[in-house]
Amino acid sequence: MKQTFYFCILLLFWITACKNNRDETLAREMLEEVQSNFAPDKRVALFDVSWNNGVLTGETNIKEAHQKLLEKLNTVGISYTDSVKLLPDPALGDLNLALVTNSVANIRSEPRHSAELATQALMGTPLNVLKASGSWYLVQTPDGYLSWVDAAAIVRLDQKKLNLWMEKEKIVVTEMIANIYADESASDIVSDITAGNVLELIEITQTGYSVALPDNRRGFIPLEKAVPYERWKNSRSTDDQSLIQTARLMMGSPYLWGGTSPKGMDCSGFTKTIYFLNGMVIPRDASQQINEGELVDSDKNWENLEVGDLLFFGVPATAESKERVVHVGMWIGDNQFIHSRGRVRISSFDPNDENYDAYELNRYLRTKRIRNKPSEHILSVDQVLQ
C-alpha cells in the first residue's frame, strides 16, 4: 500500500514537472513569436519582455503585442502572472508628448551624456515620451527611433497643448546654419538654428519674422533665413535639381556618428536630411533605408541609376554570416554619388575622375530607388509637422 502511495506521489510530481517544463517551453516560444512579429527591430519597437517561472516581466509600448501574448497564453491554458509595464509610464501623467526646443536635440542610447549618440531631432519635432530616468526621457521620434534625450532639449506637453501648437502658423528655417536674435538689431542671440527647424510665427515685419520657440522663448529671424511653413511645404520637391542642390549645400560638413542635421551627420543621417529638407521623412539607419523602395541595381550597371537613388555599401552575406550594411550615399549622376564619410564629399566610380573611390566601389552592395515609391515607413513632412 505504501509503495502504491509513494508511486502515485512520484507520478504526480513527474506529471507536474513535465507540464511545467512544457509550459515554460511553450511560453518562451510564444514570447519569441510575438516579439518577432511586433518588434523585430529594437531600434523602433520596444518589447522588452521576459518569462521566468510563470511570471511575465519587463516593459513595452506596443499594447497590441502585449495583448496578443496574453491571448496566446490563455488559449493553451498556461497560468501566469502578468507584471509587464505598459508605456508610456503612468508616472508621466498627461505630459507624455514633447517638442524639441533646441536647434538640434542629441538623442542617446542610454540616459547619460557620455552614451553613444543614437540620432538627433530638430527644433519643433514632436516626440512621444515613454518614461523618465532622472533628468532624461526615453522618447520615440516620428520615424520610430527609440532613444534618450536630456530634459533641457525638450518641452513636455499634453495632447491638448501639442494640438494647439500644431494649429499655429509656423515658419521653417531654410538657412543651413543661422541664429534667432532677441530683436531686429541682431545684437543678442536667443538660440542657434539649422535648416528644418520649425517655430511659431508671431508676426512678419519688413526685415524678418517674430517667432516663438516651442518653450515660449521669443526672438527674431531675418527674412532670408526662413519661409512660412505652407510656402515651404508646397515648394518641396524631390526632383533632380532640388536633391542635388540640398546635398551640395552640406558639402564639407563634418561626419558625426548619430548626426542628422547640417551641423554634422553620419552617412544615413545625411541621406535622411537631404530627403527631409525636400519633404520626405525616411528611416533613420542605412540598414533600415535599404529595405525601402525598389531595387535598381546590384551588378554595378550605373546606367540604370537616377539622381536620388540610394547606394548601399557593406559586407555581403556568406554561408556563415548575414549581410552587413554599413554605409549609404546618394547618386547625383555622371558616375558620381555624394555621401558623408569623414565629411560630406562627392565620390566617383569613374577611374579617370579625380574623385574616383575604389574603396566604396569594392564594398558596393546595391542601389534602391525611394523617390515616388510609396511605403509605410516613408512619410511626408506634413504627416510629421502638422
Owner of C-alpha cell 535648416: 195
The separation between CA 321 and the C-alpha centre of its own chain, rounded to angstroms, equals: 26
Q: How many CB atoms lie within 10 A of CB 320?
A: 5
Catalytic residue among 66, 113, 267, 377: 267
Q: Which three cell numbers stand for residue 330?
A: 546618394
The CA distance from 212 to 202, in Å, is: 7
327 given a catalytic annotation = yes
CA distances from 236 to 241, 242, 257 (A): 11, 8, 27
Q: pLDDT for 3-59, tens place per residue?
A: 554 544 544 443 444 445 678 889 999 999 999 999 999 999 999 999 998 999 999
Q: 18, 66, 113, 339: which is the annotated catalytic residue?
A: 339
Residue in 8, 18, 327, 377 annotated catalytic: 327
- Show the cell assigned to 283: 528611416
DSSP code of residue 107 = E
339 catalytic residue (yes or no) = yes
CA gap 192, 190 in Å, rounded? 7
In 3D, which of 106, 146, 108, 112 has the Cα closest to residue 130?
A: 146
Q: What is the tens place of the pLDDT at every residue in 293-314? A: 999 999 999 999 999 999 999 9
Task: Give the Cα separation of 178 and 103 in Å (integer).
Answer: 10
Is the Cα torsion angle 341, 343, 344, 347 positive or negative in sign?
negative
The ranges of the chain with pLDDT < 50 are: 5, 7-8, 10-19
Query: Is the distance from CB of 185 to CB of 177 less than 8 angstroms?
Result: no
Which residue is associated with the grid cell 520626405? 280
* Rounded alpha-carbon distances, angstroms, from residue 374 to 234, 244, 248, 294, 369: 19, 21, 26, 10, 11
pTM: 0.91
| Cis peptide bond upstream of 262, omega within 30 | no
The rounded distance, in Å, linking the Cα atoms of 26 and 58 is 19
Identify the pLDDT of residue 134.
96
| Residue 382 pLDDT | 83
What are phi and psi for residue 367, nearest 5 degrees?
-125, 140
Phi and psi at residue 63, to the nearest 5°? -60, -35
pLDDT at 376: 85
C-alpha cell at 85: 509595464
Rounded distance, CA 343 to CA 101, Å?
A: 27
**What is the identity of the amino acid at 73?**
L
User: Tell me, what's the pLDDT at 374?
Assistant: 85
> For residue 196, what are the contacts with CB-CB under 8 A and spacing of at least 6?
122, 172, 173, 261, 273, 276, 277
Give the CA angle between residues 327, 37, 95 to the nearest 5°. Answer: 80
* Contact by Cβ (8 Å): 111, 151: no
